[in-house]
């Protein structure tokens, strides 16, 4: 199957604009915020387990390295959802698809809460990741509903909600886990998904895509997209490296805080609030992408990310250094992520869900690898090893963005 006539008719560059007329009226702010809140609540399901790993390990009597697999398989599941579920956003009506995924995620969260063994918890975590691909359907949906002039800002606002969900989820789950047990957090997550499904059923507009082929042809079209769009390949590789370095830190942080500062999951979760400063960077990155182009914010984000790991390596043993490092790390990560998405959504408007599939699949392959390597580095080399892993991924992201393609 051909990628698209637009992709074959001319080279794809950062300045290529959509081949059809986008909406002329701005999106209602209430709808943008609904999408942002939805992204935050759904993506939180993937990260609830990170501050709870030590508590989960104690429940099932497993080692730090083994219990870290819960975080890893959740991200693997999310990657599978990106690869096999998100492309449906270019074929199936998005609202009904989103509601179905929310109900499935509620069932899986309840399964994790009731899991009698570590193996069943790992299986439930894998399924949670698969069915929580909803934000990656909402982001292209928001991009398709937005006008050219506001697209970067809309993506930035929706991504702000997603970022807050990622980071505040750690704070909430850390507190709940320390005071009420880790299972309670998964029960709460299941209830939130049911409530959210009811709200979206009433308020989310229907959004019908234009792809008319089969599911098999939809998946096959991913290959030509990767082959014919060098900017997509570059953004995907940069995103994979950045997510890997980001996940290496957050997977290892709870063990570092417990061994160095003797803090438990509730305090580990509080670092999510500190990192939520990246939400402001998401909005700034979106506006910068509209005004100055995506590369400006992306390069700045990579430099901040590298500076964060340099600070964490040298000053992480001091609380103030650790706090500043977390702020810089999250700001840098979100600036690069928003900038990457802003530039890929310009490439082929009718294929935005598939473009996002390619990009986010690469990102979460990187996140899964980063979680694994971060846990491995912690087991064998402790904090210096974790920081070396993060710096290595950040340097690779810079080199790919600077020299690839």
Q: pLDDT (tens digit, 9 = 90+) per residue, 178-211?
A: 889 999 999 999 999 999 999 999 999 887 777 7
pLDDT for position 278: 61
Nearest to 333 by CA among 378, 393, 290, 287: 393
Q: Is residue 279 part of a domain?
A: yes
Q: Could you tell me the residue range of the domain that residue 324 belongs to? A: 27-205+213-403
Torsion of CA 375, 381, 387, 391, to 10 degrees: -90
Reduced to 3 states (helix: H, G, I; strand: E, B; else coil), residue 49 is coil
> Is the pLDDT at 240 greater than 90, yes or no?
yes
pLDDT of residue 405: 62
Quick one: average pLDDT of 46-63? 90
Of 39, 18, 48, give the one whose Cα is nearest residue 121.
48
Compute the distance between CA of residue 70 and CA of residue 88 in angstroms, rounded to an integer. 27
Into how many domains does the chain fold? 1
Residue 6 lies in a domain: no
Residue 11 belongs to a domain: no
Residue 13 lies in a domain: no
CATH code of the domain covering residue 32? 1.20.1250.20
What are the tens digits of pLDDT across the range 316-341? 889 899 999 988 998 898 889 888 98
pLDDT of residue 136: 87
pLDDT tens digits, residue range 78-95?
889 988 998 998 888 889
- What pLDDT is stored for residue 18 in this prediction? 37
| 3 within some domain | no
Contacts of 291 (CB under 8 A, 6+ apart): none
Does residue 47 sit within a domain?
Answer: yes
DSSP, residue by residue, 277-298: THHHHHHHHHHHHHHH-HHHHH
Residue 12 lies in a domain: no
Q: How far apart are CA 356 and CA 341, in angstroms?
A: 8
């Amino acid at each position: 199957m051909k990628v698209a006539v637009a992709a074959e008719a001319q080279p794809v560059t950062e300045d290529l604009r959509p081949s059809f007329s986008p909406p002329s009226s701005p999106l209602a702010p209430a709808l943008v915020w609904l999408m942002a809140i939805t992204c935050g609540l759904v993506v939180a399901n993937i990260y609830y387990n990170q501050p709870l790993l030590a508590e989960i390990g104690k429940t099932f009597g497993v080692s730090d390295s083994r219990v870290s697999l819960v975080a890893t398989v959740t991200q693997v599941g999310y990657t599978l959802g990106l690869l096999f579920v998100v492309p449906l956003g270019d074929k199936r009506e998005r609202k009904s698809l989103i509601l179905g995924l929310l109900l499935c995620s509620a069932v899986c969260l309840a399964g994790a809460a009731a899991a009698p063994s570590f193996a069943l918890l790992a299986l439930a975590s894998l399924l949670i990741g698969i069915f929580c691909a909803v934000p990656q359907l909402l982001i292209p949906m928001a991009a398709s509903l937005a006008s050219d002039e506001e697209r970067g800002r809309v993506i930035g606002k929706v991504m702000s909600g997603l970022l807050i969900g990622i980071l505040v989820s750690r704070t909430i789950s850390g507190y709940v886990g320390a005071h009420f047990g880790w299972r309670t957090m998964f029960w709460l997550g299941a209830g939130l998904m049911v409530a959210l499904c009811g709200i979206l059923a009433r308020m989310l507009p229907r959004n019908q895509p234009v792809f008319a082929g089969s599911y098999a042809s939809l998946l096959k079209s991913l290959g030509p997209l990767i082959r014919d769009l060098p900017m997509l390949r570059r953004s995907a590789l940069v995103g994979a490296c950045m997510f890997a370095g980001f996940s290496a830190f957050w997977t290892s942080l709870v063990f570092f805080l417990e061994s160095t500062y003797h803090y438990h999951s509730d305090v580990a979760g509080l670092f999510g609030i500190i990192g939520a400063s990246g939400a402001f960077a998401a909005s700034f990155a979106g506006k910068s992408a509209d005004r100055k182009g995506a590369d400006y914010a992306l390069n700045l984000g990579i430099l901040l990310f590298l500076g964060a790991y340099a600070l964490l390596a040298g000053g992480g043993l001091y609380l103030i250094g650790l706090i500043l490092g977390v702020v810089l790390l999250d700001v840098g990560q979100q600036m690069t992520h928003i900038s990457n998405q802003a530039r890929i959504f310009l490439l082929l408007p009718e294929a935005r869900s598939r473009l996002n599939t390619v990009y986010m699949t690469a990102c979460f392959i990187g996140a899964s690898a980063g979680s694994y390597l971060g846990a491995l580095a912690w087991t064998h080399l402790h904090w210096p090893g974790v920081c070396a892993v993060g710096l290595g991924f950040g340097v690779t992201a810079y080199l790919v963005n600077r020299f690839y393609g």
